[in-house]
Structures are given as structure tokens and as C-alpha cells.
Amino acid sequence: METIKIAHLYPDLLNLYGDRGNLICLQKRLNWYGFACHIIPVELGEDIDFSTLDMVFMGGGSDREQNLVYRDLFRQADALWVEIEEGMPLLAICGSYQLLGRYYESIDGKMMYGLSFFDFYTEGEEKRLIGNIILETEVTGEKKTVVGFENHGGRTYFNDDTLKPFGKVLRGYGNNGQDKTEGISYKNLIGTYLHGPLLPKNPAIADFFIQAILKRKGLELKGELDDRIENFAHEQVKRMLLGT
């Protein structure tokens, strides 16, 4: 049985609002598809050989944790970027999504630098953007709705017009509550503010990552899973927000 290796970066620092559930979802779905899945926790100070991994996951965290992670991950950022460019899947939630940009400026004016993988920045504001959210995305190659929960004080803005958001906000706030964009999508990377966790209620996005993992390993995704329960949960949030 082929084993899939997914790194969980800084699980003790970046795990707000049930983000760990994304890993549970991926692991179970891979098992159901017939693959073993090994989740590898990576703590502060550990060296990471990204070339041995099939995917990287980073959850959300507070400003303090975000700053600690930046200082530790920066020394290995070049190696991570090489793998991202070669198509390694990565899911970054909330604070770790902000880390992918140039900087985060808190409401008291403190500047926290990011990895500068992408030309965007985040500014903190006192009023938090909180609530259920639904967006429309095409990361799977066709239009899909994505549901989740957002709770962030940061407003993220793209400097580079060529950057692609994860999706278009139908209800909710998204990156900044103004331009109707949410998250970022680049190759097999998704950065997003969606907690909840994201993947259990959005099986198409979970399978987007699984298909990307298998394609890089020269493997095929065979068969289909019974997603009636997952789709029911998705539709309940969708109906609540859109009134359909």
C-alpha cells in the first residue's frame, strides 16, 4: 500500500477553530481510497526535507504564534518555495495564509514580516470579520461552492493583479470585506481564511489536494466515495446563507 506523507507544521502553535480536522479528513479519505497516510508533526527548530513530503498543512494562530513561526520557517523558505513551484500541495489557514505574503501590520502598528512568496499584505483592524461564508471557486476545473467559517481581524490586499483568489465571495467577508475575493490559489496551493474546518464540508476541495498528491507520485485516483453526508452538511450552510 502506497503511503502518503503530509507534514503538519507547528501543530502546537497553529491550531485555531478545529483546523486539525482538515488533516483528519484528508487521512480518512486517503484511507478510503486505498492509501496509507502518515501525518508528520513538525515543531519549532526542526529541519524539514520538503522533497520527501507529499503535502504541507499549516493552521491558524494568533499574532504571537505567527511571529514565532515566521522566524523559524524563514530559514527554510527557499526549499519550501521550490516544492510549491513544482506542484506540491499546500493548505494554509488564516494566520499561516497571511505568512505567505509580504507583511502583517497589527492594529497597534507592529510589523510582522511574511515569507514574501506572494505580493500581498495584511492590515489588522479592531473590528473582526466573523461568520459563515460561502464562495464560488474554480480550482477543481469547474465551478464549485465552498462553505466555511471566518474569524479574522486582518484585511488582506493583493498588490499583484495577476494573483488568483481561492474564490469569489457570495456571502460573507473574505480577504478584506470589500473586493469580494477570498484567499489565494497558486498551482496546488490554497491559502484561505476559512475555518470550520474547511475540508470535511467541502469534499471536492479535499479531493483536489488528493488528486494533486497522487498525480505527482504517478498514481491514479480510482473509484468514488459516498459523500452524501458531507454534501448534506455543505448544502445546509449554503441554504442558510443563500436562502435557497
Q: List the grid coordinates of 110.
A: 507592529
Which residue in the list 8, 25, 37, 94 is annotated as catalytic?
94
Q: List the grid coordinates of 195.
A: 475555518
CB 184 within 8 A of CB 208: no
- 38 part of the active site: no
Residues 114 and 102: their CA atoms lie apart, in Å, by 5
Residues 152 and 135: their CA atoms lie apart, in Å, by 17
The verdict on whether residue 20 carries a ligand-binding annotation is: no
Which residue in the list 8, 25, 152, 195 is annotated as catalytic?
195
- 37 part of the active site: no
CB 131 within 8 A of CB 172: yes
Classified as helix, coil or strand, 150 is strand
Strand ranges for 83-220 from DSSP E? 90-93, 103-105, 111-113, 120-137, 144-158, 167-171, 181-182, 184-186, 189-192
Which residues are documented as binding site for substrate? 128
Q: Which residues are catalytic?
A: 94, 195
